[in-house]
Structure 1
Amino acid sequence: MSLFNVFKISGSAMSAQSLRLNTVASNLANADSVVSSDGKPYQAKQVVFKAVQDAASNTSTVRVDRVIEDTKPGKMVYDPKNPMANSDGYLTMPNVNVTEEMVNMISASRAYQNNVETMNAAKSMLLKTLNIGQ
């Protein structure tokens, strides 16, 4: 595998992790919202990755296959004074688990940083290879 493929592989991973970070940020921003734009409680979103094989270079890259809604039910909070509460006085809150989302954010940011360091190492090796010829 050539060093140039490293840029392609790491670049695809950085793009995927960037979307994952944006999705986590959206989940965290809506963790305490009572309703979303469609009038229902916000549903947490999760990113699904997919490996893509490139036959020409015999390498695999990663891409975002889809963004799915988490199917876990939302938390029921007793708040009878809230106008959005049901007839029993319960309010359905988003199904966002803030702790899980923070762990997901740390994992995504570390994966992103690892790919940045991989690209920097490949760049350094290419520059050193060019300096050999001088």
Structure 2
Amino acid sequence: MSISNIFDIAGSGMSAQSIRLNTTASNIANAESVSSSIDETYRARHPVFAVALQQAQGFDNANQALQRSAGRGVEVTGIVESQAPLRPQYQPNHPMANEEGFVFYPNVNVVEEMTNMISASRSFQTSADIMNTAKEMTQRVLTLGQG
């Protein structure tokens, strides 16, 4: 694995966590939106991560085989809607109430979303720290011949 792969892997992690943070922000922003029907109500969204694998087809030795099995980062394969039940509330005087007097709130758990936000932020910071460490290592290698 070359040093440039470290930057690619850490960069893909930062990109994935940015998408996670944006999705979490969208969920929190819509946590208290209401609708008069189940079909129109906002549903919490969550990104799906997967390992981005090496693209090389063949390999000649054990080192190449090891690199083949290692990932080259993370990728977001999609964003899925939560299937958790919505929160119906009886509010007959609400302007968005349906014929039975119910309004529907999203299935967003704000505490869970705040936890996701903290986790995404820390993962992003960890990837940034990895990039910093790799940069420092590269700079030290360049100064080895000076003396």
Please confirm whether the aligned pair reaches a TM-score higher than 0.5, indicating the same fold: yes
Question: Which of the two has higher C-alpha Rg?
Answer: 2
Question: Which residue pairs with 2:105 in the alignment?
Answer: 93
Structure 2 Cα separation of the partners of residues 55 and 89 of structure 1: 56
Question: Which residue pairs with 2:75 in the alignment?
Answer: 63
Structure 1 Cα separation of the partners of residues 52 and 19 of structure 2: 17
The answer to whether structure 1 residue 2 and structure 2 residue 2 are counterparts is yes
Consecutive unaligned residues of structure 1, counting only runs of 5 or more, are none
How far is the alpha carbon of 1:88 from its aligned partner? 2.5
Question: Which residue pairs with 1:118 in the alignment?
Answer: 130
How far is the alpha carbon of 1:112 from its aligned partner? 0.5
Amino acid at match of 2:90: Y
C-alpha RMSD of matched pairs (Å): 1.4
Question: Which residue pairs with 2:120 in the alignment?
Answer: 108
Question: Which residue pairs with 1:14 in the alignment?
Answer: 14
How far is the alpha carbon of 1:55 from its aligned partner? 4.1
Instruction: Kindly tell me the number of residue pairs found equivalent between the two proteins.
Output: 131
Amino acid at match of 1:26: S
Please, which moves more after superposition, 7-16 or 86-95?
86-95
Structure 2 Cα separation of the partners of residues 68 and 52 of structure 1: 19
Consecutive unaligned residues of structure 2, counting only runs of 5 or more, are 57-66
The answer to whether structure 1 residue 23 and structure 2 residue 23 are counterparts is yes
